[in-house]
Structure 1
Amino acid sequence: MNFSLHHIVREPKIKKDKNPLILLLHGYGSNEEDLFSFASELPDEYFVISVRAPHDMMYNSFAWYAINFDADENKFSDIEQAQSSRVLIATFIDEVVQNYPIDQKNVTLIGFSQGCILSYAVALTYPEKVQRVVAMSGYLNTEIADEDFAKNDFSNLKIFASHGTVDQVIPVDWARNSIPKIKALGIDIVFKEYPVGHGVAPQNFYDFKNWLEA
């Protein structure tokens, strides 16, 4: 089977007929090994699959979409590339459900930074494919989601969002501003902040793990 995205897998330690899935989406300039360091600490009944973003930046770094700078050093995202990655991730979810004994009604995305931005876009566009999102150090960019996403049924979607208060890469205000927009869609969301920069604090990890187990 050829999968749409290169990935690595931690099989569940507790095997069922169909196991839940955690899909890990790394940040800009990273790779599939990064978040996979969490895998051994995640609940035993999950398949944990970490994917590599499609755009090769060389030196084992990858991106879900390009981030460009103009002459005034304003950053802007390649929305078309981001939308293509959104479709790729959705296709990949279908592929893993077909090829591994995964419960398609129990899929969690855990995304960091650019992977977080994509996790939001995938969950809002395809809420039938994703039941939970752990959204770390990112924000909601509705341009990446399908343009009619607001018409979707989000009654089964839950989100745990978190951000560092001294994040120098993605300002915490961007994350804070995302929360009312998500609540306005009727989505159950928990938002926590930690006194860290652009990274995952140990307390953040334990909080989202406890949220998952609950």
Structure 2
Amino acid sequence: MAALAVSHALTSWGEGTPGDAPVVVMMHGFGSNEADLAGLAPALPAGWAWASLRAPLPMGGPAFAWFPITTPGRPDPQTVIDATDAVSDWIAASLPATSRVVALGFSQGGLMASQLLRAAPRRVEAAVVLGGFVLDAELPGDAALAAERPPVFSGRGTADTVIAPDAVARTEAWLPGHSTLTERRYPGLGHGINPDELADVVAFLQQLPG
């Protein structure tokens, strides 16, 4: 099987040019596409660049995925690692080596945001995990994360029934020991993002080290 690849041509870009400000790399959820999270871009801090990626696995029509769903909340680790490698390759090819990268993802893309931090803790300086979870596997970058505790925002609706409960519990147990965690829960919110969560995300981004 050919290696997964994230297409530069199928990426939505912000108007900003990667420079001193961080670049927010956005990853959509299962069955969506690069246009989804691009709608969050106007709320980002002024001057920040962004890119919203299309996942590499087609599902028909405008729907794409980062990896197949087998057991909900427990994907095959190798499929997740392959997708993470594809995004890491995209970052290396598309952004200057000096760019500060913040990974932001929703649902399946939220897992990808945590994966990028785990795979490249010195390249990705922070992660925003929205309605997502972490992979049920030990990875080589985990020891560095536990020592360095990079900033992570984790947000979830209290009425979200999409992510498997064991995956939620795993995430809530894992993140505090591997990050400097900002955790928020939103009463009545299902599997989505509301204005309160978006405001909290922006506040988190604005507080990242300059």
Normalising by the smaller structure, the TM-score range is 0.7 to 0.9
Q: What SS is found at the alignment partner of 1:57?
A: strand
User: SS at 1:56's partner residue?
Assistant: strand
Cα displacement (A) at 1:81 = 2.0
Which of 181, 195, 206 aligns to 1:189? It is 181
Q: Which of 198, 205, 211 does residue 204 from structure 2 map onto?
A: 211
% identical aligned pairs:
25
Cα distance in 2 for residues equivalent to 1:16 and 1:124: 23
Pair 1:68–1:173, CA change in 2 (3 A): closer
8 Å Cα contact 1:167/1:197 also seen in 2: yes
- Check if 1:93 corresponds to 2:91: yes
1:128 lines up with 2:126 in the alignment = no
Q: What TM-score, normalized to structure 2? A: 0.85
1:201 deviates by: 1.4
Please say if 1:165 is aligned against 2:165.
no
Larger radius of gyration: 1
After the TM superposition, which residues 8-19 of structure 1 pair with which residues of structure 2 at under 5 Å, given as runs?
Answer: 8-12=12-16, 17-19=19-21
Q: How many residues align?
A: 199
Residues of 1 paired with 2:185 and 2:115: CA distance? 21
More displaced 10-residue stretch of structure 1: 54-63 or 148-157: 148-157
**1:82 corresponding residue in structure 2:** 80
Quick check: which one's strand share is greater? 1
Task: Report matched runs for 1:26-41 at 5 Å.
Answer: 26-41=28-43
Change (3 A) 1:16 1:28: closer
**2:152 alignment partner, SS class:** strand
- CA–CA distance in structure 2, aligned partners of residues 52 and 16 of structure 1: 19
RMSD between aligned residues: 2.3
Distance 2:78 2:34 in 1: 22
Secondary structure class of the residue paired with 2:95: helix
Tell me if the contact between 1:130 and 1:157 (Cα under 8 Å) persists in the aligned partners. no
CA distance in 2, matches of 1:75, 1:192: 20
CA-to-aligned-CA distance 1:72-117 (integer Å, 9 cap, x gap): xx7752432221101011111112223xxx842x211110000001
The runs of 5 or more residues in structure 1 that have no matched partner are none
* Structure 1 residues 141 and 19: alpha-carbon distance in aligned structure 2, compared to 1, 3 A threshold: same
Relative to the length of structure 1, the TM-score reads: 0.84
* Contact kept in structure 2, 1:65 and 1:79, CA below 8 Å: no
Contact 1:121 1:142 in 2 (8 A): no
Match of 1:200 in 2: 193
